[in-house]
């Protein structure tokens, strides 16, 4: 996956270029429909599928008071998900107050002049862009006609009579309804981060854990979960604890993952963690020894589920 920071850099991409435009937080089924249209076009032409996205989320700049506190996927997580769909280049445009003041015409002019062989642009049919949301899919289609570029507006994906949205998915995750979140995501819910150094309390009681720095990604309710985690290209089974660890005390909310039958140094490595069955809520035990006994029960139960 190649990451670019401007539309101008697309001029160096060789071959027919097919671009999907959007924020794509979480890369849910609605987002995937837009991306899949560009990937299908690239496959047909033998060209390159790319995504143009924005960082941070535009609403954090335009209306910070209404911005969600959590995101569904960090930029690195989003790139990983897009790559799995067949995207090979991502343009991450810094979304600033100055960028927001640009007229839709300016953005369209730069977009359609960015690459010598831009063949296709795909967007959600209700996507808006530019100053005062002056640009739309219809606006882009008119520019595309003049530039000889196909512009496809993709209809929203519906589920249970409502459009799939990042807001609905965040709420499902907050509620612990991971089955509903997975249905709208089109994949099992996961978080992605880097293994960080901790206090090594797990190792001291015989259950070493990896502390995952997940940044601002939306997390489910605190508690103990059956999990699967990919690290170094290997998928492993285990148990995850999410919360404040009241028995030993923690300064902030943590995601700790214990991998079954694994011994090795994971510090600094990237890890994607998929949440499975919810085993129990977070509890404060009378002693570390009592906690150790309960962890043994959690591990045995999780192994049985696998």
**8 Å CB contact between 123 and 24:** no
Q: Per-residue pLDDT for 249 more than 70?
A: no
Amino acid 3: pLDDT: 97
DSSP one-letter code for 155: P
Instruction: Band the pLDDT of 251: cuts 50, 70, 90.
Output: low
Amino acid 286: pLDDT: 79
CATH class of 189-305: mainly beta
C-alpha to C-alpha distance for 38 and 19, rounded to whole angstroms: 6
Q: Per-residue pLDDT for 161 more than 60?
A: yes
Do 2-161 and 189-305 fold alike per CATH?
no
C-alpha to C-alpha distance for 241 and 255, rounded to whole angstroms: 6
Domain 2-161 CATH (choose: 1.10.1040.10, 1.10.260.40, 1.20.58.100, 3.40.50.620)? 3.40.50.620
Mean pLDDT along residues 21-33: 97
Amino acid 239: pLDDT: 96
Q: Per-residue pLDDT for 75 more than 80?
A: yes
Mean pLDDT along residues 261-288: 90
CA 263 to chain CA centroid, Å, is 28
By CB atoms closer than 10 A (0-12, 13-18, 19+), residue 2 is: middle
Domains of the chain, by residue range, sit at 2-161, 189-305
């Amino acid at each position: 996956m190649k990451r670019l920071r401007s539309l101008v850099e697309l001029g160096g991409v060789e071959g027919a270029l097919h671009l999907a435009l959007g924020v794509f937080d979480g890369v849910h089924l609605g987002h995937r429909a837009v991306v899949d249209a560009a990937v299908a076009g690239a496959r047909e032409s033998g060209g390159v599928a790319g995504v143009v996205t924005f960082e941070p989320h535009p609403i954090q700049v335009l209306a910070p008071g209404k911005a969600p506190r959590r995101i569904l996927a960090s930029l690195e997580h989003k790139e990983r998900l897009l790559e799995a769909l067949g995207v090979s280049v991502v343009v991450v445009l810094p979304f600033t107050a100055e960028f927001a003041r640009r007229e839709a015409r300016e953005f369209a002019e730069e977009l359609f002049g960015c690459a010598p062989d831009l063949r296709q642009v795909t967007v959600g049919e209700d996507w808006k862009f530019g100053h005062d949301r002056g640009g739309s899919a219809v606006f882009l289609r008119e520019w595309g006609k003049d530039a000889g570029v196909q512009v496809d507006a993709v209809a929203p994906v519906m589920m249970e009579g409502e459009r799939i949205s990042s807001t609905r998915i965040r709420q499902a995750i907050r509620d612990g309804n991971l089955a509903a979140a997975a249905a709208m995501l089109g994949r099992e819910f996961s978080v992605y981060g880097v293994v960080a150094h901790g206090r090594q309390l797990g190792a001291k009681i015989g259950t070493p854990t990896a502390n995952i720095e997940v940044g601002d990604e939306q997390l489910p309710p605190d508690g103990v979960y059956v999990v699967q985690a990919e690290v170094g290209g290997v998928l492993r089974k285990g148990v995850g604890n999410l919360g404040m660890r009241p028995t030993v005390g923690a300064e902030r909310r943590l995601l700790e993952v214990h991998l079954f039958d694994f011994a090795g140094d994971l510090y600094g490595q990237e890890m994607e963690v998929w949440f499975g069955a919810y085993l129990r809520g977070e509890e404060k035990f009378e002693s570390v020894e009592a906690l150790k006994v309960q962890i043994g029960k959690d591990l045995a139960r999780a192994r049985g589920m696998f």
